[in-house]
Amino acid sequence: MNQKTAVAGANIALLKYWGRTDAKLNLPANGSVSLTLDNLLTRTTVEFDPASKGDSLTLDGKAQTGEVLARVTRFLDHVRKRTGRSDAARVASVNAFPAGAGLASSASAFAALAAASFDAAGTKVSAKELSTFARLGSGSASRSVFGGYVEWLPGARHEDSYARQIAAPGHLALHDVACIFSGEKKKVGSLEGHELADRSPIHGTRLKWVNDALPRMKEAILTKDLGSIGDLAERDALFMHSVMMTSDPSVLYWTGETVRGIRDVRSWRDEGIPVWFTIDAGPNLHLLTPAEHAPDVVRRARTTWGLSKEQVIDSAPGEGVRAVEDHLF
């Protein structure tokens, strides 16, 4: 057996990727910055098998068909082309996400798949090249190749659009407390959403703002300036959602719980608690807070919003993608 396995963590963007210049290559309209998380992990095993006719995929033990399998096959085709392999692959993947969280992550999924499939093909690639390939699966996966604080350079060609580490996980103990108001599958997925971005009249204004915010965010991370990290992250989340809401057609991911949550986080901050929110393509809040305040923020989220243990997930900065030996088959 020549199966290989990799583990990758999800990441939360502090400056977001929203909109693309090339939909096929997932070249983003802007650079982004993220934090890789230690608690939302995907483990994936890949084996190339000359005897098998087509690719196969199981997710959390369930065999997949249709678009889910087709997306993995399209990704594996890039790897086959690069490595010269022509065999079909057997892929198994499990998410070590708290049950019922509804937080399935394409970032950790494609970062783990990229690493395991190159390894299984017997081709060594640099972390930078691995990041370009993870990006072909899902843009944000380019960032999960690296641990800690990460930036994704947008680039104008496949080879130039990759992520790199800004600071290691141990540099700054910023936690992400994910508050899952709803685990429902979203009606407009991020792939579709990216296509709508330039149908908002304020998309260009946001891109200018993000380009100006990128060096400020990196500086804030390097100098451990939590206030600036939180302020920039919160503003960009609001800016990205403003682009979503003002696209044609409009995409509104928020629910009443999102708005109530935003108001509560701001009043906790007025009480002196260093906590900021960010929001991905969904209704759920991610609360950014230093490690020492995480237990209090978890408690407040649970009691104020009536969330269960499984609906509030506290993650510390995590490592980048890595090979492991505990194969899934």
Q: How far is CA 158 from the centre of its chain?
A: 19
Q: Which is nearer to ligand PMV, 4 or 143 (CB)?
A: 143
Residue from 251, 275, 277 nearest 262 by CA: 277
Residue from 254, 296, 326, 290 nearest 43 by CA: 326
How far is residue 47 from each of residues 107, 109, 303, measured CA to CA in Å? 21, 16, 46
Contact with ligand PMV (CB under 6 A) among 21, 83, 123, 190: 190
Beta strands in 155-293 (DSSP E): 162-167, 174-179, 276-278, 285-290
Sign, Cα dihedral of 80, 75, 110, 152: positive
Q: For strand 174-179 and strand 285-290, is the pairing parallel, antiparallel, or unpaired?
A: antiparallel
Q: Site map for ligand PMV, 134-163, x if CB under 6 A?
A: ----xxx-----------------------
Q: Which is nearer to ligand PMV, 100 or 189 (CB)?
A: 189
Question: What is the closest distance, in whole angstroms, from the C-beta atom of residue 123 to ligand PMV in the complex?
Answer: 24
Q: Which is nearer to ligand PMV, 3 or 278 (CB)?
A: 278
Q: For strand 276-278 and strand 312-315, is the pairing parallel, antiparallel, or unpaired?
A: unpaired
Q: Site map for ligand PMV, 12-41, x if CB under 6 A?
A: -x--xxx-------------x---------
Contact with ligand PMV (CB under 6 A) among 55, 236, 280, 314: 280
Residues with Cβ within 8 Å of residue 96, at least 6 apart in sequence = 40, 41, 42, 43
Q: Site map for ligand PMV, 99-128, x if CB under 6 A?
A: -------x----------------------
| Contact present, 38 and 9 (Cβ < 8 Å) | yes
Q: Which is nearer to ligand PMV, 281 or 298 (CB)?
A: 281
Q: Which is nearer to ligand PMV, 69 or 281 (CB)?
A: 281
Q: Which is nearer to ligand PMV, 20 or 43 (CB)?
A: 20
Number of residues that bind ligand PMV (CB under 6 A): 13
Residues engaged in binding ligand PMV (CB under 6 A): 13, 16-18, 32, 106, 138-140, 190-191, 280-281
